[in-house]
Amino acid sequence: MALWMPVILRAQAFALLALLLLPVGTARAGRVVEGVVRAVYDGDSVLLTTRERTRLKVRLYGIDAPETKKRTKPGQPYGDVAKRTLMNKIQGRPVSVEVIAIDQYQRSVAVIRYSGRDINREMVEEGMAWAYRQYLHGAYASEYIGSEARARSLRAGLWRDANPRPPWEFRNGKKQHGAHSRH
């Protein structure tokens, strides 16, 4: 074997390792990406395969769905229902994703549209998620907060419970309070 062969093999191994470590892409804020939903992780996050064949983890903008059960953590009431609802809406379907921001976990935070429908808003309107007021801005704020108010008044989804616990309190381990009009 020639002396230069190990150098080439190391370079090829490095290039292969680099490709393996970069399978999940990120999108820039303000960009619209089209692709197919390949996985639904829970009621507010999915995996998208883009037209360019990159994988994009997407967190639905402006909503917070009940937590699903994890290996070491319990879930919340309606967590599995919210996940199934989102699956039924978009799993395996072509969608467009309007990227609003990139979060601390390098997920694209986005509004997902399927056949022109705002899926994020639908999840709130059907009582499968809260309007996530802490992160809502502009026109989406009034739309999603209005959708939540309608879901509450109709006692849709999670609003069937007298006092559902918001996911942000559940994640932080806070004790349940009275009415949640402060969020």
Active-site option among 31, 52, 67, 84: 67
Q: How far lies 65's CA from each of 11, 18, 164, in Å?
A: 45, 34, 11
- Where do runs of H (alpha helix) occur along the chain? 5-21, 79-90, 119-125, 138-154, 167-171
- Distance between terminal CA atoms of the chain? 68
Residue 59 annotated as catalytic: yes
Tokens matching residue 150: 């309608």
Active-site option among 98, 107, 126, 165: 107
Residue 71 annotated as catalytic: no
Per DSSP, the three-state class of 21 is helix
Exposure string of 76-96, with b = 16+ CB inside 10 Å and e = fewer, is: bebbebbbebbeebbeeeebb
Active-site option among 10, 28, 51, 59: 59
CA-CA distance, 173 to 151, in Å (whole number)?
Answer: 25
CB distance 59 to 108 below 8 Å:
yes
Residue 182 annotated as catalytic: no
Active site residues: 59, 67, 107
